[in-house]
Amino acid sequence: MPYLGGEETVRELRRALSNPNVQSDQLRYRNTILKVIRAMSQGVDMSGLFSEMVKACATVDVVQKKLVYVFLCSYAALNPELSLLVINTLRKDCQDPNPMVRSLALRNMTNLRLPSLVEYVEQPLAAGLRDRAACVRRVAVLGWAKLHNLQASSEIDAAVVNELYSLLRDPDPVVMVNCLRALEEILKDEGGVAINKPITHHLLNRLKECDIWGQCQVLRVLQRYRPQSEDELFDILSLLDASLVSPHPPIMAATLSLFLSLCSGQPAVSLAALERVRGPLLAACGSGSREMRFTALCHIQLLLRSIPGLMGAHYKRFFCGYAEPAYIKQRKMQVLVELVNDENVAMLLDELKGYCTDVNAETAQAAITAIGRIGRSYSDRCLEILTGLLGLKQDHITSAVVQTMRDLVWVCPQCSDTVCFALEGCEETLQDSQGRQALLWLLGVYGERVSSAPYTLEVFIDGVRSEASLGVKMELLTATMRLFLCRPAETQDMLGRLLHYCIEEETDMCVRDQALLYYRLLHCGIEETRKVLQGRRSDPSLGVLIGRPAEPVSQWARSFNTLEPLRQGSIETESVSRGSPEHTMFDPKPNADLSNTLDCSRIEKVHSECVRCPTIPRCSPQSLQAAMQLVNIQTLAFTPPQTLPWRVYLYTHTCLDDAPHSTLILGELLYTGEEPQKAEVHKGSADGGVGAEGIEDDM
Amino acid sequence: MIHSLFLINHSGDIFLEKHWKSVISRSVCDYFFEVKEKAVDPENVPPVLQTPHHYLISIYRGKLFFLSVVQTEVPPLFVIEFLHRVADTFQDYFGECSEGVIKDNLVTVYELLEEMLDNGFPLATESNVLKEMIRPPNILRSVVNTLTGGSNVGDTLPTGQLSNVPWRRAGVKYTNNEAYFDVVEEIDAILDKSGTTVFAEIQGVVEACVRLTGMPDLTLSFMNPRLLDDMSFHPCVRFKRWESERVLSFIPPDGNFTLMTYHVSSQNLVAIPVYVKQNINFFETGSCGRLDITIGPKQNMGKTVEGLMVTIHMPKVVLSANLTATQGNYTYDLTTKVLVWDIGKLNPQKLPNLRGSLSMQAGAPKPEENPSLNIDLKIQQLAISGLKVSRLDMYGEKYKPFKGVKYLTKAGKFQVRT
């Protein structure tokens, strides 16, 4: 921060600090130091005053000491030589009869963070571990962790580690927790504190004595423990039951996290625990702090992945208040979409409809997207609302509605009639490129049913020179080509103009190349063109799975109570702005970690192979599906039962938290009836992140 | 765990920073400012931001951002709760939590932060303990300190830290022994156009002010404890006794503290104290609109509704309001487009009414949505959920304390859609 007169201030303060009259008057001396601190906190560089401040350190006044320490700790790294002078005073203070002064000195000695001073600090720290005042021990224990951070490469002193382990049994609970924290940091390379049975039970028994921060720490460390027998496991669980419903959200979350890690082999117990935390989680959702509400919402989303019906009865808790911040509203809508069922759908849609006119454009768009999601199961009601919204003639609303309709038609082709009817005339209010792309896509695919389609395209083509968006131009090319295939008479002329412009005048390579491709394609004859351009339609016989299959808890247990679930928000809102449906895969309720689209360059290899399965004894599709879920293969969509050939689209993905690579496998399973089952598997291996890639559906 | 803390004011200046591990440059906040710029309204800044090397976890309280910098994976609820605790402590010490106050008490703030965290881990956060180590400033003491050169730092070790009851210090003495409890309930409700309740819930809190000598052991019982859902207690409350007998048994901390908070969430238990008849219209032509609001009492258990106030965030196109109020007065802020009607006491014989016309920007389209009404009200001597304290007993000490209970109902997020 530029601060005028910074130099001047420093000089003035130096004069005051070295003035003997000021030094002898304790009050004036302290006030001068206060000015230094104030200037420092405003960002003025005060490091020039270091030697004066070191002198000020030698005082009996505790307040002055504290102030000087604040200064010294921030500038010590710049003046390692001069800092040596402070050590003497600090070491003297470590002998002081007042435990407050001892702990203060010890704390600041370690806060200086100078590797050159380590040799002077070790001795008082070792003495501090055996001090009779608990507050000194607390500081000393953490001091060793700071010391270790300072010289991470050096050998760990086994004696100190042993002493820290023995202090785990200290009568003061804070010392105990600090020991855990220190050992976690010092022994990071070995994987943290060794958690064995005696330590675990000792910690569990003393859990009640700790404050909430301490409890969280203990619960977190215990996640590494694996009980040796089932009896022991249930003993631990019953001990923890009270903290599972703790009114403090951090403790509740930490306990649930521990529960899930302990019961990783017992899915039924984990599910029961999730039921148990419903109350406290809902309470956190209504908490006074909006940050707390937000975090609780994100965690509820995780829980819903395993028990979709968990919050069904409480859907009203997720209605948005007028003055709530946008990020909470958007999360609440995502939760509401999950909670929809036959009884509450009317109520929910009414509520969401109200949000569509929110002042915040992003919130409004999120509400419209949410309605679109619900539309996959209740298309008639939702389309009615969406069409109604078009009447408002607001450009951000229209754009979101058109995009939502495009996404919806891809999944539910039966809605296309209503959509085509609604499209008339909305191109005038569309401003942004995403919305126009969506409109163009719809016009291309359903051109034969929208009577005004050629005229709308003509307006676009006439304005193509001034068009700035690359996406719109590409989409326009494709849409015009498609329209040409079904309505050649009206479109031929404008297609010619467009191709001519794109090939001759367009400067962007992508657009030009695509135009050339289409031009050459037309040379190959109309049948070839039709094959390429109209090959990919969604199959109306495919029914989308309504209601997500419940995922096993272990899928997300590791990310519970971490920052992971909070991060997804930004990704999910971005996914609103994606391209046409052909380029994205539709997961009925996208899993958060699958929702960001992956660009094709990240696909390492795509190959398809056809596997002929040996004859399987007759089994129903349902039981097949259930069996596959057991081995973590999820179903995307399938044809209605009793149709032949019956097909089902599948995906599965590896989820290794720490590995940067993850693999996504998409597949199609084809069942042709009497013949043996035949499975075709297309594999896409995604590198560097998780993502979804479109099914190559011309398998 | 928590690496650094930055306090940032409304306009985006960092006015205080504190580092518990190594010093992190202020430039890390640039990521935050970028998002804040984009969010327009500071309330809309998401609480967790990710930067290449750090996480920024922030809370927004009293027009200030408390921004913590975290380097490793942490439980988010933990950090958020802690930041709120920091803000609560400032509030407790200085009476409010604003930039001016924090700058005035910079020294105390640094001392507090130093005590609250060590190496990034929470150390002493219990207000009673902190107050013994660092005395809160008050006018008298600062005058005395200026004259005598005394300090506001306690020079003895807080005794409470070593006793069995960490929240209470030993050897408390008062000449007047008194224990007062305030039951404060806030109604959060959303009513729709026709007056039916879309959502309603009561958030209650029992605040206590206990000044009793020695180590008293109190038992507070309610007439109808089964009413309450989702309770959360001060750590002093014995949870086992609540579970078995539904009484609050505890050794209280000294002074003011929050004994418990609770929710009443089943909608049919939540009484709505007032009804609102409203009619807001914007005309298609003529760029004007009409507004007519009447408020009357509904279920208020025979008590008077006071401090009634209606706040309306008008659409941007509304230029001015020309209204008449039969009671109280109204103001319309042209820049923020907020209409505030301050009514005061609700008289059931003569219902307050506000009506008149709104003029809009010429040529602007009619707003597609009517504004919602936010209502503020107070009812003294009534807990709207019907919760009643039946008795308070004291064990362990011989004297007889003064006891008192006050009830108050307030509107929380009380909103009427139009």
User: How many whole angstroms separate alpha carbon A297 and alpha carbon A301?
Assistant: 6
* Residue located via tokens 């005229």: A455
Q: What token pair was written down for A461?
A: 């083509």
Could you report the per-residue pLDDT of A200-230, keeping only the tens digit for each? 999 998 888 888 888 999 999 998 888 888 8
Q: Between B368 and B161, whose confidence is greater?
A: B368
As a whole number, mean pLDDT of residues B101-126 equals 83
- Please determine, for residue A631, whether its predicted confidence score (pLDDT) is greater than 80: no
Q: Contacts of residue B152 in chain A, CB cutoff 8 Å?
A: 63
Q: Are A107 and B118 in contact (CB < 8 Å)?
A: yes
The larger pLDDT score, comparing residue A26 to residue A258, is at A258
Please write down the HEC assignment for all residues of B189-255.
EEECCCCCEEEEEEEEEEEEEEECCCCCEEEEEECCHHHCEEEEECCCECHHHHHHHCEEEECCCCE
Give the number of beta-carbon pairs within 8 Å between A and B: 203
C-beta separation of B149 from B106 below 8 A? no
- SS3 call for A550: coil
Percent of chain A topping pLDDT 90: 6
Confidence bin at A689 (pLDDT 50/70/90): very low
Q: How far is B125 from chain A (nearest CA, A)?
A: 9
Q: What is the pTM of this model?
A: 0.72
Q: Extract the tokens encoding B77.
A: 């609820």
Least-confidence region, from A160-169, A369-378, A389-398, B125-134: B125-134
A558 touches chain B (CB under 8 A): no
Contact B46 A294 (CB under 8 A): yes
Cβ atoms of residues B168 and B253 within 8 Å: yes
Of the candidates A62, A250, A326, which has its C-beta nearest B81's C-beta?
A250
| Section B294-310 average pLDDT | 85
Say which DSSP state B382 is in. -
The per-residue pLDDT for A371 is: 92
Q: In the structure, what pLDDT confidence band is assigned to residue A541 with cuts at 50, 70 and 90?
A: low
Q: What is the pLDDT of residues B277-290, one digit of tens each?
A: 888 888 877 778 88
Per-residue confidence (pLDDT) for residue B289, from 0 to 100: 84
In chain B, which residues have their Cβ closer than 8 Å to the Cβ of A284? 77
**Which chain A residues contact residue B166 at CB under 8 A?**
211
What pLDDT was estimated at residue B180? 92
Q: Kindly state the average pLDDT of the residues A13-19.
A: 84
Q: What are the chain B neighbours of A23 within 8 Å (beta carbons)?
A: none
What pLDDT score was predicted for residue A572?
A: 43
Q: What is the mean pLDDT of chain A?
A: 78
What mean pLDDT do residues B398-402 have?
88
Do B110 and A37 count as a contact with CB atoms less than 8 A apart?
yes
B201 and chain A in contact, CB less than 8 A: yes
Interface test with chain B among A295, A392, A561, by most B beta carbons within 10 Å: A295
Burial of A249 (C-beta count, 10 Å sphere; 0-12/13-18/19+):
buried
Query: What number is the average pLDDT over the span A582-603?
Result: 39
Q: Which residues are CB-contacts of A79 (< 8 A; sequence separation ≥ 6)?
A: A47, A50
**Weakest mean pLDDT among A22-26, A277-281, B405-409:** A22-26
For residue B92, the surrounding DSSP H or E stretch is: helix B76-94
Is B35:B12 a contact under the CB 8 Å cutoff?
no
CA distance A540 to chain B (A): 37
Q: Which pLDDT score, from 0 to 100, does residue A579 have?
A: 45
The residue-averaged pLDDT of A168-194 equals 87
Which of A322, A336, A562, A573 has the highest number of chain B CBs within 10 A, making it the mutation to test binding with B? A322
Using the Cβ of A174 and the Cβ atoms of chain B, whether some distance falls under 8 Å is answered with: yes
A105-150: pLDDT as tens digits: 888 888 888 888 888 888 888 888 888 888 888 889 988 888 888 8
Mean pLDDT, chain B, whole residue set = 83
Exposed, middle or buried: residue B226 (CB in 10 Å: 0-12, 13-18, 19+)?
A: exposed
Mean pLDDT for A154-162 is: 81
Mean pLDDT of A632-658: 65
Distance from B6 to chain A by nearest Cα, in Å?
10
> In the prediction, which pLDDT does A57 show?
79
Beta carbons of A368 and A388 less than 8 angstroms apart: no
Q: Are strands B178-191 and B402-416 parallel, antiparallel or unpaired?
A: parallel
Tell me the mean pLDDT in the region A288-296. Answer: 87
- Is the pLDDT score of A612 beyond 80? no
pLDDT of residue A580: 46
Confidence class for position A281, pLDDT limits 50, 70, 90: confident
Interface of B with A in 77-96 (CB under 8 A): 77-78, 80-84
Question: In chain B, positions 12-71, which contact chain A (CB-CB < 8 Å)?
Answer: 13-17, 19, 21-23, 26, 39, 41, 43-48, 50, 55, 58-60
Chain A interface test: which of B78, B188, B243, B416 (most A C-beta within 10 Å): B78
For residues A664 and A419, which has the higher predicted lDDT (pLDDT)? A419
pLDDT-derived band at A661 (thresholds 50, 70, 90) equals low
Q: What is the model's pLDDT at position A350?
A: 87
Q: A residues 184-203 near B, CB within 8 Å?
A: none
Average pLDDT over residues A278-293: 84
Q: pLDDT digits over A300-328, tens only?
A: 988 888 888 788 888 888 888 777 888 89
DSSP tag of A324: -
Q: Which of B74, B118, B134 to mutate to test the interface with A (most CBs of A within 10 A)?
A: B118
Lowest average pLDDT, out of A369-378, B235-244, B335-344, B360-369, goes to B360-369
A619 phi-psi bin (left φ>0, alpha ψ -120 to 50, beta other):
beta
Nearest-neighbour CA in chain A from B402: distance (Å): 30
A466: its two tokens = 């001034």
Question: Which residues face A550 on adjacent strands?
Answer: none
pLDDT of residue B68: 93
Residue B369: is its pLDDT beyond 80? Answer: no
Q: How confident is the model at residue B57 (pLDDT cuts 50, 70, 90)?
A: very high
d(CA A464, CA A498): 8
CB contact (8 A) between residue A569 and residue B17: no
What is the pLDDT at residue A368? 92
Alpha-carbon distance B86 to B115, whole Å?
A: 11
Judged by CB atoms closer than 8 Å, whether chains meet at A213 and B125 is answered as yes
Q: Residues of A with CB below 8 A from B83's CB?
A: 291
pLDDT tens digits, one per residue of B206-243: 999 888 888 889 999 998 888 887 788 887 888 888 88
Quick check: A466 pLDDT over 90? Answer: no
How high is the pLDDT of residue B304?
86
Q: Is A47 exposed, middle or buried (0-12, 13-18, 19+ CB in 10 A)?
A: middle
Calpha distance B200→B181 (Å, rounded): 25
User: Which of A38, A63, A179, A252 to mutate to test binding with chain B, by most B CBs within 10 Å of its CB?
Assistant: A63
pLDDT for the residue B164: 56
Q: Is A2 part of the contact surface with chain B (CB cutoff 8 Å)? A: no
B17 neighbourhood in chain A, CB within 8 Å: 41
Task: Mark yes or no for CB contact B55/A394 under 8 Å.
Answer: no
pLDDT of residue A557: 82
- The confidence band for A101, taking pLDDT boundaries of 50, 70 and 90, is confident
Q: Is the pLDDT of residue A653 over 70?
A: no
Q: Is the pLDDT of residue A176 over 80?
A: yes
A20 has a pLDDT exceeding 90: no
